[in-house]
Structure 1
């Protein structure tokens, strides 16, 4: 049985009984405990303003086995949302998909008072290494990524810390600098990871990445 935080909070006594039954099945080994996340995504208006196009939206399932007190192992299943967007930019007289943005939502996962979220407590640099595969562009591999600066940005009603990283990539036989902006924070029971990347020389895209971050809705209402 799948339970979202919204349904549990809204269901009252009946929902509490259903949740108790589900947890009992989990503890007894009769089924996995399931966690659902809500999709996070920038608004259509922000995408139109910045010129980004939807590349892919997908919901993935994460399954893992956790150990409860007493050494008992049980299965946990979670749904993770990933929304990716790209933009064609001009470089060396040609237009190509050179800028990208992604929003990832991972449910908070706690069993017997212990977090079983595989990315819980990761730094933004560790999250960047983990989630770079969510963004694809024509730059190819981005290497030698280093932290450059941090700054505050208002996202979803609060001030969030955004980290800026600089990496190296190859394009048309030349090495270019790629700038990456990343922020991660908890919101309504989910961990959100927002990432924007683009050639550093394209200063307009730096501002566009911030526009997309500021516009993000969670749960997405589009």
Structure 2
């Protein structure tokens, strides 16, 4: 299974108001393992970046002045993503911007994101797993002990790399945590999250490691387990396992 974890930065919040993409960052997963392949590009939006957006990502109009326009990078970008499942945090936002860029491009080869890729929204997934809690990327990093200490400002490639780690942790792993005792602290929404533990950053398991051993209960062990559940139910009432 091939997945591409994707993030964008933009000139503002609404493509219907003429806002454009200024940065795309992607990292590739194959069978839930990071391959080392990535796509990263800054883009000249051919319009001004709003001051509020610059405060979020720090990407200025002067920096973007000599960057290629979307039409120049569209084939390379879409070819990298084609056929993959896109893993995106708040997917409607990024997909809406990409679809707008493709529509402005007018290239019949590239119609819209859903015509070429699947889409998985990790924000929807996080809200289902953690209802009533903060589920932005910083909050998820704290919850799953993912190091985001370099995330002073939003950046598409860095955020895609962080989201890949969060997604893998949220859906069962492929990473190894080494934890130590530490003090937890709370910060304001939108600020860089503090580490909850004083420990090492995530260490990914080797791709050529031996398969994990699966030890199944013997018939005798399964029978003993059922007997113990029966004793517990008699003494403590209905059980829930």
Q: Same fold (TM over 0.5)?
A: no
Q: Mark the structure with the bigger radius of gyration.
A: 2
Looking at both structures, which has the greater relative contact order when contacts are Cα pairs under 8 Å and sequence separation is at least 6? Answer: 1
| Larger proportion of helix | 2
TM norm structure 1: 0.22
TM norm structure 2: 0.21
